[in-house]
Chain A
Amino acid sequence: MVKNELKVEKLNLWFGEKQILKDVTFSIPDKKITAIIGPSGCGKTTLLRCFNRMNDMTDNVKIKGKIILDGCNIYEEKTNLSSLRMKVGMVFQRPNPFPKSIFENVAFGLRVKGFKDKTRLTEIVEKSLKDAWLWNEVKDRLNSSAMELSGGQQQRLCIARALATNPEVILFDEPTSALDPQATAKIEELSVELKNSVTVVQVTHNIGQAARISDYTAFLYLGELVEFGISEKLFTVPQDKRTEEYLGGKFG
C-alpha cells in the first residue's frame, strides 16, 4: 500500500462561466514524483495551482470539491493560506527570482514567517542551496543579485527558495520549458533526488520527461482526469483510448 500525501476529491473549478476542471478525483502518493500531462489548455496549470490555492487570487473563480492534505481539506474556511503555502511549495514555468541577493531569495519564506535567528537562517539557506544543487556555484557570492545567474541557475534558486520553508510537497509547473537541454537534464535529475524528502507534483508538456522521471502519471484532457496510474503502465499499456491517442501524438 502506498501512503498518499494529497487526496483530490471531486474537484470542480470554473473561471467565470467556463468550467475548467471537471470532477477530478485521484490521490498523489507520498515521496514520489507524480506527473500531470495533457494537451495545452486542458487545465494542468489550473489543477496544480489548486494544491496551494493560488487560484484563489484569480477574479471570478469558483472551486468545489476537496483536496485533503494531512487529514484536512485545504479548502476549508479555517485553512491558514500562509502555512499551507509553506507546506506546499511551488516552482513556476519561468524562473522568477526576486531582484534581491541570492541569500535573500532563499531566506524570503523564513523572513516572512518572522524567522529571526541569524545563524539558523544561514544554515537553512546553505542547506536549501545544497539540496537544490546550487551551493557550489554560488557559495562565494551569496550577496550578489540573483538576476546575474543563468536561467538554469535561477530555476534551481527558485527550487532552493521553495525548499527553505521545509515543504512536504513541491509543485513544478513545466519547470524546464524555458531552459536549454543541459539545464533541463540537471533539473530532471534534481527532481528525482528531491523525492527522497518531498512529494513532487510536476506538470509537463514533455511526455518523454514524464516517462523518464515520474513514478505516477495523471493524464488530463479538457479538464477531465482521463487516466491516472503508475507511469510505466500508463505509458506502455494505456487503458483509455484518449490516452493512447495523446501518447501517440494525435493531439499534441
Chain B
Amino acid sequence: MIKEKLFKYLTLTAALCSVVFLFGIIFSIFKEGYSIFAEVGFFKFIFGRSWHPTHYPPEFGILPLIVSSILVTAGALLVSVPLGVGSAIYISELAHPKGKEILKPIVELLAGVPSVIYGLFGMAFLGPFISRVFGLPVGLNALNASIILGVMVVPIISSISEDALNLVPRQLIEASYALGANKWETIIRVILPAAKSGVISSIVLGFGRAIGETMVVLMVAGGATSIPRSIFRPVRPMTSAIAAEMGETTMGSSHLHALFGIAIVLFVITFISNLITEWVMRNRGKNGA
C-alpha cells in the first residue's frame, strides 16, 4: 500500500515538473520581456521596420525579423509539404511492403540528424551551389534556409500524415473501389479527404518546428537585418537574432529586454500553432474526417 502510494506521488511529481517548467519559462520570458513593450510601444516594437539595437539611439523594430521568420518558414513548407505528404502517400498506399520497410526507417532517420549537421551541409554544400546557380556573391540566404528547414521538417509531416492515412478505415477504401474508382482516384477522393485533419496537423506541427528552429537559420540564413525583398537576400529570423545577439547584451539593457520581447512573440506564435493542431484534431470525426 505504502509502496503504491509512494509510486503514485513520485510519478505525479514527475508529471508536475513539466507544468512547473512550462510556467517557469513563460514567467521568466514575460518578466524580462514585457518592459520593452512599454519602452518602445507595442506597435512600434512589432511593426517597426528597423532593427538596430546597438546604434545610438537604438532602434527596436522587429518587423524585419518577423518577416524573415515567416519567409523562411513559408519557403520551408513549400518544400516540405509536397515532399512530406507525397512520401506519406507513397509509403502508406503505394509502396510494396518491402519498399515500405526500407523507406520508412530512412525517413525517420532524417528526423534524427542533429540540426547542426543540417546547418553544416547548408553552409558547405548548398550555399556554394546556390551562389553558383543564381550568380550571387554568397549562398547563405533565405532560400538556403528554406530548403534546409524544409528537408528537416519532411519527416515530421511524413510520419504524422502517414499515421493519418493508415487510420482511414478499410471499408471506405473498399467502397470506393467497389464504385469503380481506381487507386489514384481512391487516394484523391477518399483517403486524403478522410485523413485531412491529420495531414493538416502534421503541417501545423511542421510549421512550429520550422519557425522555432535556431541552429540552421543561424548558420545558413545570412543574418542581414533589413526587411528582405526577395528569397535571395540574407535574412535574420527571430530565433537567430536571439541566439546571435544574446552574448552582446549587458544585464538590464534594453537590447536584452528586446530579445526577450522577441521570445514572447515567438512563444505566442508557436502557442497558437499548437492550439490550432489541438483544435483540428479535436474537431475530426465531426465530418467523419
- On A, residues with C-beta under 8 Å from B are 52, 54, 57, 81-86, 89-90, 92, 94, 96-100, 108-109, 111-113, 145-147, 158, 161-162, 165
Task: Find chain A residues with CB under 8 A from B165 CB.
Answer: none
Q: Interface size for chain B: under 10, 10 to 19, 20 to 34, or 35 or more residues?
A: 20 to 34
Contact A108 B189 (CB under 8 A): yes
Given contacts A96-B174, A98-B172, contact A112 B287 (CB under 8 A): no
Task: Find chain A residues with CB under 8 A from B190 CB.
Answer: 98
Q: B88 on the interface (CB 8 Å rule)? A: no
- On B, residues with C-beta under 8 Å from A are 169, 171-172, 174-182, 185, 189-190, 193-194, 287-289
Contact A82 B181 (CB under 8 A): yes
Contact B172 A54 (CB under 8 A): no
Please classify the interface of chain B as helix (H, G, I), strand (E, B), loop, or mixed, using the class held by over half of its residues.
helix
Task: Find chain B residues with CB under 8 A from A84 CB.
Answer: 180
Contact B178 A89 (CB under 8 A): yes
Given contacts A96-B172, A112-B185, contact A165 B180 (CB under 8 A): yes
Q: Which residue of A lies closest to B196 (CB)?
A: A99
How far apart sit A82 and B289, CA to CA, in the bound complex (Å)? 26
Task: Find chain B residues with CB under 8 A from A165 CB.
Answer: 179-180
Task: Find chain A residues with CB under 8 A from B289 CB.
Answer: 99
Given contacts A109-B180, A147-B288, contact A100 B193 (CB under 8 A): yes
Contact B179 A162 (CB under 8 A): yes
* Partner among A57, A81, A98, A111 whose Cβ is within 8 Å of the Cβ of B175: A98
* Partner among B171, B172, B179 whose Cβ is within 8 Å of the Cβ of A85: B179
* Partner among A145, A147, A161 whose Cβ is within 8 Å of the Cβ of B179: A161
The 9 closest A-B CB pairs, nearest first, are: A99-B288, A96-B171, A109-B179, A90-B178, A86-B180, A82-B180, A85-B180, A147-B288, A112-B181
Task: Find chain B residues with CB under 8 A from A89 CB.
Answer: 178-179
Given contacts A94-B171, A99-B287, contact A54 B178 (CB under 8 A): yes
Give the shortest distance, in Å, between A34 (CB) and chain B (any CB).
Answer: 19
Task: Find chain B residues with CB under 8 A from A85 CB.
Answer: 177-180
Contact A113 B178 (CB under 8 A): no
How far apart sit A67 and B11, CA to CA, in the bound complex (Å)? 64
How far apart sit A99 and B190, CA to CA, in the bound complex (Å)? 8
CB-defined A-B contacts under 8 Å, sample of 18: A54-B178, A81-B180, A81-B182, A82-B181, A84-B180, A85-B179, A86-B179, A92-B171, A96-B169, A98-B172, A98-B288, A99-B288, A108-B189, A109-B181, A112-B179, A112-B180, A112-B185, A162-B179
How far apart sit A151 and B96, CA to CA, in the bound complex (Å)? 36
Q: Which residue of A lies closest to B188 (CB)?
A: A112
Task: Find chain A residues with CB under 8 A from B182 CB.
Answer: 81-82
Contact A92 B180 (CB under 8 A): no
How far apart sit A92 and B171, CA to CA, in the bound complex (Å)? 8
Task: Find chain A residues with CB under 8 A from B175 CB.
Answer: 92, 96-98, 158, 161
Task: Find chain B residues with CB under 8 A from A111 CB.
Answer: 189
Q: Which residue of B lies closest to A53 (CB)?
A: B177
Task: Find chain A residues with CB under 8 A from B185 CB.
Answer: 112
Q: Which residue of A lies closest to B173 (CB)?
A: A57
Give the shortest distance, in Å, between B200 (CB) and chain A (any CB).
Answer: 15
Give the shortest distance, in Å, between A121 (CB) and chain B (any CB).
Answer: 15
Task: Find chain A residues with CB under 8 A from B169 CB.
Answer: 96
